[in-house]
Chains A and B, each alone.
Chain A
Amino acid sequence: MEVTNAPLSPESDPDLAVGLALVRKARRVRLIETLKVGVVWFALLALLTFGLLQLRFDPPYIVQNAYFVLRGVWTTIWVSVVSIFIASVLALFGALGRLSRNPIAQGISSFYISVIRGTPLLIQIYLIYNGLPQLGQQLKLLGYPQLAQLLTLDAFQAGVLALSLNYGAYMTEIFRAGLQAVGHGQYEAAAALGMTRWQMLRRIILPQAIRVIIPDVGNQFIAMQKDSALVSVMGVWEITFRATRLARKDAKFIEMLLVAAALYWILTIVSSWLQSRLEKRMAHAYER
Chain B
Amino acid sequence: MHTNGNPIVRVQNLHKWFGLLHVLRGISLEVYPQEVVVIIGRSGSGKSTFLRCLNLLEEPTSGRIEIDGVAVEATDGELLPESRARIRDLRLKTGMVFQDFNVFPHKTALENVIEGPVVVKGVPKDQAVEKGRELLRKVGLLDKQDVHPIRLSGGQKQRIAIARALAMEPKVMLFDEPTSALDPELIGEVLAVMKDLAREGTTMMIVTHEMGFAHEVADRVIYMEAGMLVEEGPPDQIFTCPKDPRTSQFLARIIESGRLV
Pairing of A with B: yes
By a beta-carbon cutoff of 8 Å, the part of chain A in contact with chain B is 183, 185-186, 188-189, 191-196, 199, 203-204, 207-208, 211, 285-288
Does B91 belong to the interface (CB within 8 Å)?
Answer: yes
A189 to B148, CA, bound (A): 17
- Using an 8 Å CB-CB cutoff, how does the interface string of B98-125 with A read, 1 for contact, 0 for none? 1011111111000000011001100000
Assembled-state Cα–Cα distance A128/B168 (Å): 51
Give 9 closest A-B pairs by Cβ, nearest first.
Answer: A189-B102, A185-B102, A193-B116, A192-B96, A194-B91, A194-B92, A285-B148, A194-B120, A207-B106
**If A199-B119, A199-B120, A287-B150 touch, does A191 touch B91 (CB 8 Å cutoff)?**
yes
Tell me which residues across on chain B come within 8 A of A192, comparing CB atoms.
Answer: 55, 57, 91, 94-96, 98, 165
B204 to chain A, nearest CB (A): 15
Q: Distance (Å) between the CB of B251 and the closest chain A CB?
A: 31
Q: How far is the CA of A215 from the CA of B55 in the complex (A)?
A: 37
CB <8 Å contact, A185 and B91: no
Q: Contact at A286–B148, with CB atoms within 8 Å?
A: yes
Selected contact of A196 from candidates B57, B88, B94, B151, CB within 8 Å: B88
Distance in angstroms between the alpha carbons of A185 and B107 in the assembled complex: 15
Instruction: A192 to B103: give the CA distance in the assembly, Å.
Output: 12
Which residues of chain B from 152 to 175 have any CB-CB distance to chain A below 8 Å in the complex?
161, 164-165, 168
Binary flags per residue of B73-104, CB closer than 8 Å to A gives 1, else 0: 00000000000000010011011101011111
Q: Inside 8 A of B95's CB, which chain A residues have their CB?
A: 192
How many angstroms between the C-alpha atoms of A183 and B92 in the bound complex? 22
Report the minimal beta-carbon distance from B50 to chain A, rounded to whole angstroms. Answer: 15
Contact B98 A185 (CB under 8 A): yes
B28 nearest CB across to chain A (Å) = 24
User: A192 vs B94: C-alpha distance in the bound complex, in angstroms?
Assistant: 8
A204 to B115, CA, bound (A): 10
A186 and B103 alpha carbons, distance in the complex (Å): 7
**Are B150 and A193 in contact (CB-based, < 8 A)?**
no
- Asked if A286 contacts B105 (CB within 8 A), the reply is yes
- Which of chain B's residues has its CB closest to A211's CB? B106
Task: Name which residue of chain B comes closest to A210, CB basis.
Answer: B106
State whether A193 and B98 are in contact (beta carbons under 8 Å apart), knowing that A285-B106, A287-B150 are contacts in the complex.
no
Assess whether B120 is in contact with A195, with CB atoms less than 8 Å apart. yes
Collect the chain A residues with CB atoms within 8 Å of residue B103's CB. Answer: 189
How far apart sit A288 and B106, CA to CA, in the bound complex (Å)? Answer: 13
Identify B168's interface contact among A186, A194, A288, CB under 8 A: A194
Name 24 interchain pairs, CB-CB below 8 A, sorted by A. Answer: A185-B100, A185-B102, A188-B57, A188-B102, A189-B96, A189-B98, A189-B102, A189-B161, A191-B57, A192-B91, A192-B94, A193-B115, A193-B120, A194-B91, A194-B92, A194-B116, A195-B116, A195-B119, A203-B119, A207-B106, A208-B104, A208-B105, A285-B107, A287-B150
* Distance of A285 Cα from B152 Cα, bound (Å): 12
Residues of A within 8 A of B148 (CB): 285-286
Scoring B57, B116, B168 by chain A CB atoms within 10 A of each residue's CB, the highest score goes to B116
Closest CB of chain B to A203's CB: distance in Å?
Answer: 6
Bound-state CA distance A44–B106 (Å) is 46
Cα(A211)–Cα(B120), bound, Å: 24
Per the bound structure, the CA–CA distance linking A204 and B112 in Å amounts to: 10
B residues 166-191 near A (Cβ < 8 Å) are: 168
Nearest-neighbor residue (CB-CB) of B90 within chain A: A194
With A185-B100, A186-B102, A287-B150 already in contact, 6 other A-B pairs whose C-beta atoms are closer than 8 Å: A185-B101, A191-B57, A192-B95, A193-B164, A204-B104, A285-B148
Q: Which residues of B contact A285 (CB under 8 A)?
A: 105-107, 148, 150
Give the interface centre of B94, B107, B119, B150 by most chain A CB atoms within 10 Å.
B119
Residue of B nearest to A287 (CB): B150
Most chain B Cβ neighbours within 10 Å, of A193, A195, A199: A193
Let me know if B57 and A288 touch, CB within 8 A.
Answer: no
Q: With A185-B98, A189-B104 known to touch, is A288 a contact of B119 (CB < 8 Å)?
A: no
Complex formed: what's the CA distance from A185 to B161 in Å?
12
Q: Whole-angstrom distance between the alpha carbons of A287 and B150 in the complex?
A: 7
Q: Which of B103, B105, B148 has the most CB of A within 10 A?
A: B105
How far is B92's CA from A287's CA once the two chains are assembled, in angstroms?
A: 33
With CB as the reference atom, state the residue of chain B lying closest to A186: B102
- B150 and A286 within 8 A (CB): yes
For the complex formed, measure the closest distance between the CB of B135 and the CB atoms of chain A, giving whole angstroms. 14
| Bound CA span A148–B224, Å | 69
A193-B115, A194-B168 given; A188·B150 CB < 8 A: no
